[in-house]
Structure 1
């Protein structure tokens, strides 16, 4: 990294303590909030001095709060919203009202980018794998159209792993808990051999399912094994090579659905008004499996005192086999299998430097290629509606390429005591995508080698004005743009696979404040944003009888506005309080009835609309709670010369959300597709002992959802459609409900040397 980096910021904060200095030394030292270092803008910066909406979690935060995977990360940050896909190791992930409701489709991209050490992860399958060996997590909110690998409209989640130190270190975590929960995490830092250092992490984790099944895998079971090898070679005084290999296997079973009505067709059926701890009949359910292997190579060359050149190369393979049994929750049997093979490669070059003390820059080149194969088999009994047994086979191959050049320049004009920063960013992106599909129904080919091919190009600028009012207060104003590439619909009706959709674009205006008060015992950060979306990619049902046939269109425009607040208070060296709050107000400004959709009278003769009609009243932005809150209290309540005890309590709240887009105020009984608000409490009490040789031992008792709150984690509205069809009137009449897992309790045993 440039040796003259951020001199102006250091001079502006001469009174601040060095980075990574903790607030306290027991016995009278003044409490101070720890400074957090981030690399969100490809430079090492203090989070408080970075003029973007960003949140960060350190490894210490994650250990105390029991954060183990993406699901836990999302629940800890109100700006993010998650819902488990019917598959148990796949998330529907939204940020600031932006996401993808069907992440199983390989012919389209997500709105929230996932990264490990700056390397993009294109597919979220296996996302619930244990995130062992992290140094910190950085969550960037809003469009990432300038600096990050893939262009995304919602934001980015970047995992930063702990690098080898070159000195011997050992840490062993053992956890035991409810439903035979077991987790072992072993981390070994090896002494450097010459200029080569290595770190090895091995993780094993498993837990029984929380819905027992006498005929196969229990719903909600989880069994995973993974490892990571990190190497660091200081090849020269100014040249460093970092290589990582990670691999893992995750076996799991899906979440369990219960219908809210009992049709009387299935003796002994247990409805979903309350969660059930067992299936109403034995079900032949196989465990699903995700297997991945990833390689990362980062070369860092300190070319001069003012220029750093970096090369980031990534390769990742994923094999995903998913079995889903909907357990008659649709009132008719439904079963699905999805198999995905994915291979991705990325290459990025970065030139990071400064010109004197007043101009910093980064220039980058990016290339990405992804090849995916997705086979789906879906079996359902449509006899009650005159369709008989329907067995669908769909086989899709998708190839996506993206290349980009980007730059960001920050200028500090020699006025106002160097407290004003002007940042201009720009990115030019070219995307190509092609796909082929075979479609069979009851083994009869309705479509073979159907194909589509697309290409897009996009220019995305951004501009930020940041002003440092004093050493502890700064405000910024930002306008940024981003886009999500177009694609095609895997689930479109036979004969329509050539109908594609174009990119979705967003422009976001943001005002932010970052501040520290009371001698760095109080930190208050806030952001206000207003986003305008055009050519929104919306999926519509494309058949009057078969709701599984879906086509996506650029049919919408929307505005999403909101506010985000983060407050940290450390009144004493032993007590840390944190509040995270997010308010969202999303609204569709326009949705147009499209040709070939369920709104088209040619497809659905009972539709009250014509192609081109305004139908926004039928739609709502899904997975977007109006209010989300996270409260954390961390209190060290006992200290001796060789031991300390601390307690961490976390409360998270999410208001009502809808689990689909077509559930607007104009849809009758739309609340059958909604999830009520809920709040959860997690807690941990830990005792840390200093041992004679400088090593430590920790014993901690923990609980997740300690009050055993019963809440719905996913809901599917059934019994009707958004408009009248030959099968019935508009609206929903019942739900398929999946209840979240009950309270879990356990103990952590940790030894560290």
Structure 2
């Protein structure tokens, strides 16, 4: 058979392509990434901790715009939107907080901007404009970071003023009237002061249409950031930043997976819908924030750097949620949070000779929060009346700490061994008051609690540098999360509190580069032990919305993390990231005052003190998480470069609540099935005559239009029998994620 002309051309071109790839591969090297995770500028490969980093170039090519995008690109992180659309439930290595709305407790994963802690995740889905890079540190953080967190830390590092004129304008247009404008202006330095201004506007229509009010899933943002850098002297640099923003949004839409027959035309949640089954009253939610940061860096000597980090942040959050009939009865919730936080940190970074390096830090933090919630349910369709609950909580938290880390390189083994000892001492205080009204009647007024805690957390790391391309480390670290109280406890229970949660993590890690730095392989194995784990239980046999937290759990989490980057040619980069989790409850004790206590719930088959671990599972802990990225520059000329990026992320099945263990009937009503998402971007960069550039890029998110549940609430029952019914869940209130979106980016940079 005569071969086609195309087939002959392909055969002829193949050897040339192979020779070209081999020739080009000699020039290919994976980019070095400099991080400051240990308060010094270090190559990521030389930092003996579990850390991942994204540069601004990485984020632009992958379309990473906010925390949600960051989480999807990092398999070790797990997230779901809170019922509010601009608030994330964030977990790392199986550690997190399932209800971040409660201002009387702390999170397990710390969020930072330029090292300044952000205490509340409300408004966390604001666009992260103007970043230089993102660093994600996994495992307990305390001996290097101001706030003690047990799961890890996400640190955003902003691009600082350069002192030279620069301008960048990005415009994006896409599905559902998506629009994004990002303007960045770097101003020439005036004497010793440089300035940088960033202004953002972003909006998109909702993806579930509603004839009676705001659509579900809409987003409208406006924000800006001013950064100033003053080189006060050869030894002193002063950085100041002001950021402010407003975010108007609407919540995600829930559908019940059953049709009770009470509501004609109801659309069940077995499949996503693009519209509500009836007009629904829904106001847009609003977030407003303003943050100030002041960092002074003094190079006191060649062997000592002193830094002062001062932060102040205000947040106002008004959130409206209409659950409609997803719980079989109409349910509406309004939350209003006012938060003010201040932090001051001093760092002393230096070396004292004899191969010793050290970091010493002093930290102070204060947070004041007010949280008002109105919870309204209409029981008329099931033959009862209206329940209208008001909860008003004030919380004040203070934390102060001293921390240190010392690294010694002993004069043996050709100075290839590094031994690091860290320690932290923390004192925390927390006080709160609550008023509780039901149908306008005061059930509880000025209920209060006042707590204080102190904790010592050590860590130790041994790092061995085999050669310039290979190192291995062993690490043991401890962490603690302060105690608190439950906003959502039953009337009379606010005086109850819970103690700190503690974790000890053992970790082995390897960092390596091969094939003349064209292949990078990093991996970590870890084993975490939790004591006094803070768990939330129902505290009322009839009203399952009343939740109390207790120190009831002992758990272990085993896991493995792998990151592989291959760059066979200068034009092709392949990346594979994988995380494996094996969480297990070792013990959960039935506590007094919970629905497992027969004195509260006569239907409970358990006694106070019983081990009920079979009723629990660690939520938001997928067994397998994968991220695959292919970045290919398929065309280069003297003035044009064309690039294509594919990114695939996968997450296996998770449970969205702890009381959904293997012994709970119909536990899968509280689970989210596994899913995978494919994103794509193709961009063309044009070099213009004056040294400026223009970029045109086409992009798509979830281009296969995968239908998946982003958040579920198991309902119709509880993990234990109550007077309302037997144990287990009977249906799901499900929220489906937004469908595929497409768009175009237009960028000009000078």
TM-score (norm 2): 0.97
User: Does 1:689 pair with 2:675?
Assistant: no
- 2:55 and 2:183 map into 1 onto residues whose CA distance is 19
Equivalent residues in 2 for 1:624-639 (5 A)? 624-639=621-636
Q: Are 1:165 and 2:166 counterparts?
A: no
Which of residues 686, 697, 713 in structure 2 aligns to 1:700?
Answer: 697
1:289 corresponds to which of 286, 290, 295: 286
Structure 2, gaps ≥5 residues long? 1-20
The one of 660, 679, 693 equivalent to 1:663 is 660
Quick check: 1:236 aligned with 2:233?
Answer: yes
Q: Secondary structure at the match of 2:60?
A: helix
Question: Does residue 371 of structure 2 align to residue 396 of structure 1?
Answer: no
The match for 1:246 among 237, 243, 258 is 243
Structure 1 residue aligned with 2:314, among 282, 292, 317?
317
Secondary structure in structure 1 of the residue aligned to 2:45: helix
Whole-angstrom distance in 2 between the partners of 1:709 and 1:102: 27
2:424 is aligned to 427
1:612-623 → structure 2 map (5 Å cutoff)? 612-623=609-620
Question: Quick one: structure 1 residues 25 and 408, their matched pair in 2 at CA, closer, same or farther if it must change by over 3 Å?
Answer: farther
Check whether the contact 2:298–2:305 (CA below 8 A) recurs between aligned residues: yes
Say which SS state the counterpart of residue 688 (structure 1) adopts. Answer: strand
1:11 corresponding residue in structure 2: none
Structure 1, gaps ≥5 residues long: 1-23
TM (norm. structure 1) is 0.96
Name 1:350's counterpart in structure 2: 347
> Is the CA contact (8 Å cut-off) linking 1:683 and 1:703 kept in structure 2?
yes
Q: Which residue of 2 aligns with 1:64?
A: 61
Counterpart CA distance in 2 for 1:732 and 1:382 is 19
Q: Is the 8 A contact 2:615 2:659 kept in 1?
A: yes
Aligned to 1:374: 371
Q: CA deviation at 1:149?
A: 1.4
Matches within 5 A, 1:184-333: 184-333=181-330
Cα deviation for residue 336 of structure 1 reads 0.3
The answer on whether the counterparts of 1:439 and 1:447 sit within 8 Å (CA) in structure 2 is yes
Post-superposition Cα deviations, 1:573-632, rounded to whole Å, max 9, x if no partner, equal 100000000000000000000111010111110100001001000000000100000000
Q: For residues 385 and 98 of structure 1, what CA distance do their matches in structure 2 show?
A: 38
Aligned length in residues: 730
Equivalence for 1:608: 605
Change (3 A) 1:475 1:605: same
Aligned pair partner of 2:710 in 705, 710, 713: 713
Residue 19 (structure 1) aligns with? none
Give the C-alpha shift of residue 385 in structure 1.
6.2
- Among 131, 135, 138, the residue aligned to 2:128: 131
Q: Deviations over 1:65-107 (max 9, x none)?
A: 0000000000000000001000000000000000000000000
Q: Which of 91, 96, 117 matches 2:93?
A: 96
> Are the equivalent residues in 2 in contact too, given 1:26–1:573 (CA < 8 A)?
no
Partner of 2:111: 114
Question: Displacement, 1:356?
Answer: 2.3
Alignment deviations for residues 89-144 of structure 1 (CA, whole Å, 9 cap, x no partner): 00000000000000000000000000000000000000000000000000000001
2:324 aligns to what SS in structure 1?
A: coil
In structure 2, distance between residues paired with 1:385 and 1:461: 56
Distance 1:156 1:26, change over 3 A: farther
1:584 maps to what in 2? 581
- The structural deviation recorded for 1:404 is 0.2
> Alpha-carbon deviations, 1:532-575, whole Å to 9, x = none?
00000000000111011111000000000100000000000100
Per the alignment, residue 541 of structure 2 pairs with 544
RMSD: 1.1
Describe the superposition over 1:464-488 as per-residue Cα deviations: whole angstroms up to 9, x where unpaired: 0000001100000000000000000
Q: Which whole-Å CA distance do the structure 2 matches of 1:662 and 1:383 have between them?
A: 29
In 1, Cα distance between equivalents of 2:468 and 2:147: 35
Q: 2:77 aligns with which of 76, 80, 84?
A: 80
Q: Distance in 1 between matches of 2:412 and 2:253?
A: 62
How far does residue 382 in structure 1 lie from its aligned partner after superposition?
Answer: 3.1
The DSSP-based 3-state class of the residue aligned with 1:227 is strand
Q: Deviations over 1:623-654 (max 9, x none)?
A: 01000000000000011111010000000000
Conserved in 1, the CA contact under 8 Å of 2:35 and 2:135? yes
**8 A contact 2:622–2:654 mirrored in 1:** yes
Which string of whole-angstrom CA distances, capped at 9 and with x for unpartnered residues, describes residues 158-198 of structure 1? Answer: 00000000000000000000000000000000000000000
| CA deviation after TM superposition for structure 1 residue 27, in Å | 6.3
Which residue of 572, 585, 593 corresponds with 1:575? 572
Distance 1:39 1:297 in 2: 18
State the secondary structure of the residue aligned to 2:232: strand
User: Partner of 2:107: helix, strand, or coil?
Assistant: coil
Residue 722 of structure 1 corresponds to 719
Provide Cα deviations, 1:306-364, integer angstroms capped at 9, x if missing partner.
10000000000000000000021001000000000000000000000012261100101
Alignment pair present for 1:464 and 2:461: yes
How far the C-alpha of 1:267 sits from its partner, in A, is 1.2
| SS in structure 2 at match of 1:488 | coil
After superposition, the Cα gap between the structure-2 partners of 1:305 and 1:703, relative to the gap in structure 1 and judged at 3 Å, is same
Q: 1:64 and 1:347 mapped to 2: Cα distance?
A: 36
Secondary structure, counterpart of 2:527 in structure 1: strand
CA distance in structure 1 between the partners assigned to 2:449 and 2:25 by the alignment: 69
Q: Check whether the contact 2:523–2:560 (CA below 8 A) recurs between aligned residues.
A: yes
Aligned to 2:406: 409
Displacement of 1:25: 14
Shift of 1:57: 0.2
Separation of aligned partners in 2, 1:511 and 1:425: 17
For residues 718 and 98 of structure 1, the distance between their equivalents in structure 2, rounded to whole angstroms, comes to: 24
Name 1:6's counterpart in structure 2. Answer: none
> Is the 1:25–1:573 Cα contact (8 Å) retained in structure 2?
no
Query: Structure 1 CA distance, aligned partners of 2:185 and 2:109?
Result: 32
Name the SS for the 1:449 alignment partner. strand
Q: Residue 734 of structure 1 is aligned with which of 716, 731, 734?
A: 731
Q: Distance in 1 between matches of 2:722 and 2:403?
A: 49
1:49 paired with 2:50, answer no
Correspondence for 2:10: none
CA offset at residue 399 of structure 1?
A: 0.1
Match for residue 182 of structure 1 among 179, 186, 207: 179
Equivalent in 505, 511, 515 of residue 514 of structure 1: 511
Tell me, what secondary structure is at the counterpart of 1:269? coil
SS in 2 for 1:500: coil
**How much has 1:145 moved relative to structure 2?**
2.0
CA distance in 2, matches of 1:25, 1:466: 35
SS at structure 2 position matched to 1:547:
coil
Tell me the residue number matched to 1:18: none
Partner of 2:17: none
Report deviation, 1:384.
Answer: 5.9
Provide the residue aligned with 2:5 in structure 1: none
Superposed displacement of residue 268, structure 1 = 1.0
Which region of structure 1 is more displaced relative to structure 2, 271-280 or 353-362? 353-362
Distance 1:28 1:49, change over 3 A: closer
Give the 3-state SS of the residue equivalent to 1:34 in structure 2.
coil
Mapped partners of 1:77, 1:194: distance in 2: 42
